[in-house]
Amino acid sequence: MKGIHCIKKNKLKDSTIIVLDIRDYNETSKYPEDYTLNIPFAYLKRFYMEIPQGKIHVIAEDKLELNLGLRFLIKKGFSINSFELTKYPCTVNQKKRMLDHGV
C-alpha cells in the first residue's frame, strides 16, 4: 500500500488510467467531467463491479474517505496508481503527500 502518490488528474501521464471519483454526488455535480467514473464511497460496495480493471486514480474529498475507499478497492483486487484530495491539494513536494500509512 505504500507509495501511492498524490497527483492532480490533469498531470497523469498515462491515458489508460481510470479516474474514479468517490466523492458524494452533490460534490461531483459542481465539477462534472466526461472521462471520470463517479461512484460515491457509499455506493462502492454495490457498484464496484462496474469499475474496469486497470490502474486507478482515486479522487476523494478528505483523508477518511480516501482511506476507506482505497482499503475497499485494494481488498477487491484493484490496482491503485495515485490519488487526489479536493480539500487538501497536492503539493509540489510529492514526498510530503505520499500515502505511507493509515490504509
Look at residue 10 in the predicted model and tell me its pLDDT. Answer: 82
Look at residue 103 in the predicted model and tell me its pLDDT. Answer: 46
Residue 77 grid coordinates = 483486487
pLDDT at 78 over 60: yes
pLDDT at 65 over 70: yes
Signed CA dihedral, 76, 14, 25, 63: sign only = positive
pLDDT at 96 over 80: no
Look at residue 98 in the predicted model and tell me its pLDDT. Answer: 55
> Could you tell me where the beta strands, DSSP code E, fall in the chain?
5-6, 18-21, 36-38, 55-60, 79-85
